[in-house]
Amino acid sequence: MHGNIETPIFVPVGTQGTVKAVDPNQLKAMGAQVILANTYHLHLRPGEDLIKKFGGLAKFMSWDGPTMTDSGGFQVFSLGIAMEHGVGKLLREEEGEVKPRLNKITEEGVYFQSHIDGSKQFLSPETSIEIQEKLGADLIVAFDDLESPKHSYEETKQSLELTEKWLLRSKKAHKNSSQLLYGVTHGGIYEDLRVASAKFNDEHFEAIALGGAHKNKQNMHEIVEWTINNISEEKPRHMLGIGEVDDLFELIERGIDTFDCVIPTRIGRTGFFFISPPFGNSKNRFRTDIDKPQFVKDQKPLDENCSCYTCQNFTRGYLHHLFRSRELLSYSLLSLHNVHFLVNLTKQIRESILNDNFQQMKKDWLV
């Protein structure tokens, strides 16, 4: 392990060995503790064998803190049933475009075409663990099958049964005791399946990652409660792919230790930035758009309550100009602010818990 982790904490996503537009020194300065990278993408390019020759993921990306890798299971979903159903993990009113799937799932594993060069690839519990062990991350995740939020009860149950077989094979394949292996809970929107999955993972794994699809935010909160109530208190709990501002409060309150999400850099590249109350609120999802004409002459920082490098040195007017001019610096400065915002918010929440005033802080934010 490359250091201790104080929880709760937001984990920035560095899909291909980099948090997009934010460098490691900036991440360290803002207090980021862990970076999560993607097994599927690093396997395709540049390859786990090359990264191993560089001394592992942390050295490869010049990060001296802990690292985490997912299993590639989300790509099983995004290249498969998600394309067929036109959905994401969360079922939304407006569905996406329905497309032919790019993979084939068997009990043995998943066959798919590379999105880079069209080459045929195969990912299984054994290969996923082998890749992650070569990448050398401190925290790794067992291989899983992510269900669709449109799945029926029976389809969800079948997916969960496959996941449980894959989880046990992942555990058997895991040889590096210096890496903490997370099991993954599934079961879709169904309480009995979620409870069964939680108990299964609690029996077989020392750390638990919560995965799978949910119907809406309320259902996601229910799923967390069903799961947390059926796993041991001392085991680390990670929420995969969740990271809106309101999520941080709701999930931490329900017992989640760590969570990762691409949202801060993704919205930063499209001109959106996080903003704290009173301007930021649940209705605007604590964000606004630097491209708005109202920011042309604005000499205030993005967020007057933020201590990040961007807010301490640049005005909204300047960032508006950069973004309108499509200058690369705008993407970097907005992304840096957004990652810092979530990292710092979780730090403040951690302090509020220690000071026994979490509920007041939550009330101040989620009015």
Name the residues annotated as catalytic. Answer: 70, 260
CB 102 within 8 A of CB 113: yes
Task: Give strand ranges (E) for the chain.
Answer: 9-12, 35-37, 67-69, 103-105, 110-113, 120-123, 139-141, 180-185, 207-210, 237-239, 258-261, 272-274, 287-289
Q: Report the C-alpha gap between 34 and 12 in whole angstroms.
A: 7
CB 37 within 8 A of CB 57: yes
DSSP reduced 3-state for 20: coil
The residue written with tokens 């060069």 in the block is 117
If one counts every other C-beta atom within 10 angstroms of the C-beta of residue 318, the result is: 16
Q: Report the C-alpha gap between 90 and 219 in whole angstroms.
A: 10
Side by side, which strands form the sheet with 207-210?
9-12, 258-261, 237-239, 207-210, 180-185, 139-141, 67-69, 35-37
For residue 182, what are the β-bridge partners? 141, 207
